[in-house]
Amino acid sequence: MAIAEWREQLKRGEVSARELVDEQLDRINQIDPTMHAFLDVTGDRARADADRIDEARSAGQTLPPLAGVPIAIKDNLCTKGITTTCSSRMLEDFVPPYESTVTERLWNSGAILIGKTNLDEFAMGSSTETSAFGATFNPWDLSRVPGGSSGGSAAAVASGECLAALGSDTGGSIRQPASFCGVVGLKPTYGRVSRWGLIAFASSLDQVGPFTNSVADSAEILQVIAGADPKDSTCLNAAVPDYSASLFDSVKGLRVGLIKECFDHEGLASEVKESVLAAAVQLESLGAEITEVSCPRFNDGIATYYVIAPSEASANLARYDGVKYGYRSEGAENLASMTARSRAEGFGSEVQRRILIGTYALSAGYVDAFYKKAQQVRTLIRGDFENAYKKVDVLLTPTSPTTAFKAGDHVDDPLSMYLSDLLTIPANLAGLPAISLPCGFDEKGLPIGLQLIGNVLDEKRLLSVAHQFEQVADVKAIHPKGHFIP
């Protein structure tokens, strides 16, 4: 059900908020024991909030835009009074005393928290297999991963456990799982949405965004969560346009650039390439002008990212020392031993790996050779995008080189796992908005994602192009095996 459709049904009294919440909770009880999208289901709170919305409607009060919409929240966003773990033993018992800006805006808009979703530990991963509380599985095929790190949020939306969800995207952690799970995933411009209350991984890359079943729903969620926030100094003080009003803007004459380096990459699956190029043809049929552009350093993004992101993670995660909050190892002989043991026991292997990489890259004698050099390449990547936008309005690529892979396939091969984000990372390095939406299926019936990348703060046009494609493609109608878990 689309958010706009739900809003009208609620307004007319055809269905109650409590009925929708009960339906979603029943769905979670039915399928989540095997899929494991949720770490915490907030049923009592959801029912109470739904009852208050129904009472307000009965009293003739004007309802806020997201009234009664059940939303799941990635468990690295602080929710006051509700455990927020980052899927890590380090924060297993952490209950934030404050609410993140984005979730507070959702609740003020009438949205209902249905639960907190699973993720790769501290958002470090591309499969939601590094969670300390067990992996999440893909609703299209339970033997496969949902992507990551926001795999729980993507799976929850794809399987009908909620109408929308929030995730975070540091190198593709919204778009890649959206591609694997066949939903829409939007990473806004860096600074378009507040990061206050998002537990930090890499502060110059992290961004919060929505998962939804349609582009129109993504526009509705972005409308609520976007905008300046005095609590976040990196949040942009820029006017928020009406995203929904422009969804039907014509794409005739719009210049769409196919990034040459993406389609030439040897790791790109042929089915993915064919489906994405077919999507470009569909945009062309709507009047868009398709052209090839070059971003010469696009494929250098992954090496650049895996210096910058671990370096920032090393600094951010230094706060977990066993003293102030988080896991503390007992029985240590002194403070240094307690801190070392707390980190060794509280962090999983992937988090420890990235901390070590980042600490090494920032160490004396190596910071210029690694971290400084990576920042220089980051500037060059941003320059490539700036040059491309002199020729085109929107860039088009596959979201991921492949469809969802089997659970366990890359657990012992970190480099193969990292390559899952090859096509999404550059947008984070440049701070650009990007969206993934379904454009087809492979021969196994697994979703294929199309990525559109916009210029800075150009979410309005990005959403319009995505919506126009979505309307003509009607991708889910052509799925060869049907939808969701049987």
H helices of 121-214, in order, are: 151-158, 175-181
Q: At what angle do helices 215-225 and 459-473 cross, to 10 degrees?
A: 160
d(CA 38, CA 381): 36
Residues 102 and 193 sit within 8 Å (Cβ to Cβ): yes
Q: How many CB atoms lie within 10 A of CB 98?
A: 13
- State the catalytic residue, choosing from 16, 88, 126, 149: 149
Reading the block at residue 237, the tokens are 């003080």
Residues 78 and 199 sit within 8 Å (Cβ to Cβ): yes
Question: In this structure, what is the dihedral angle of CA atoms 295, 300, 305, 311, given to the nearest 10 degrees?
Answer: -130
DSSP 204-263: TT--EEEEESSHHHHHHHHHHHBS--TT-TTS-------TGGGTT---TT-EEEEEHHHH
Q: Where are the beta strands (DSSP E) in 348-446?
A: 394-398, 434-441
294 is catalytic: no
Q: Are strands 208-212 and 164-168 parallel, antiparallel or unpaired?
A: antiparallel
Looking at the DSSP assignment, which residues form a beta bridge with residue 209?
167
- State the catalytic residue, choosing from 150, 173, 311, 436: 173
- State the catalytic residue, choosing from 74, 116, 187, 460: 74
173 is catalytic: yes
Active-site positions read 74, 149, 173
